[in-house]
Amino acid sequence: MSHALKQVFNKDKTFRPKRKFEPGTQRFELHKKAQASLNAGLDLKLAVQLPPGESINDWIAVHVVDFFNRINLIYGTMSEYCTEKSCPIMSGGLKYEYRWQDEHKYRKPTALSAPQYMNLLMDWIEVQINNEDIFPTNVGTPFPRNFLPVVKKILSRLFRVFVHVYIHHFDRITQMGSEAHVNTCYKHFYYFVKEFNLIDTKELEPLKEMTAQMCH
């Protein structure tokens, strides 16, 4: 592993502890299947497709947790450079500003600094993916009716992390020599959300030109 990738995967830099799948569960087997496709160097467009005979909700759940873990790591490597001073507004360039809203403290969309937004976002996603009523872990327990709406919200908010990192911190990624890793993670994420129509096209606008070049 290169020094740059070691930095990306440095456990001290992890923004949140990784969420793991329990060995022996169906979700764990699916996770292994997904990882095997990636490790085999399979075309990412093919790697995201639902394996024959598998449940689409299980497949989506596995990927949501995996993307949460990986995007967490990416942001964790640069969180010390993303400060109240450097990023007083959670944005993607001059054109896009992201405001935070939740069911508790921030009932109206509220302008926050990028680090505040990221903290609230990761906390919020962690609560969703640890909630057995939304992400059931027992085989045979049905997914709730609101599973896909929750997933779409999680993924569109995770996409905003990519937007902020690419537009405001890409120089840091380049300095670390980890742009290939971040680009691969982004492409995997993009092909996945497109395959299952999980993010509105308008949400993807901020990285539209870069995506067209990278994911043609």
Count of alpha carbons within 13 Å of 109, Cβ hemisphere only?
4
Residue 200: phi and psi, rounded to 5, are -60, 145
Measured at the alpha carbon of residue 184, what is the angle toward residues 13 and 12, in degrees to the nearest 5?
Answer: 5
Count the domains in the chain: 1
Show the domain range for 209.
3-214
Binding residue per annotation — 104? no
Binding residue per annotation — 216? no
What pTM, to 2 d.p., does this model score?
Answer: 0.85
Binding residue per annotation — 82? yes
DSSP-derived 3-state class of residue 215: coil
Which helix (H) or strand (E) segment holds residue 91: the answer is: strand 91-92
Q: Distance between CA 63 and CA 48 in Å, rounded? A: 9
| 109-123 per-residue burial string, b: 16 or more CB within 10 A, e: under 16 | eeebbbbbbbbbbbe
DSSP-derived 3-state class of residue 203: helix
Look up the CATH number of the domain holding residue 98. Answer: 1.20.140.30
* DSSP sequence for 6-64: HHHT-GGG-SSPPP-PPTTSHHHHHHHHHHHHHHTT--HHHHTSPPTT--HHHHHHHHH
Cα 125 off chain centre by: 10
Residues 15 and 73: beta-carbon distance below 8 Å: yes
Binding residue per annotation — 87? yes
Q: Note down pLDDT in tens along the chain; length 216 residues.
A: 444 444 444 444 445 555 665 665 556 666 676 676 666 566 889 889 998 988 899 999 999 999 999 999 899 888 889 999 999 999 998 899 999 998 888 999 999 999 999 999 999 999 999 998 999 887 778 999 999 999 999 999 999 999 999 999 999 989 988 888 899 999 999 999 999 999 999 999 999 999 999 987
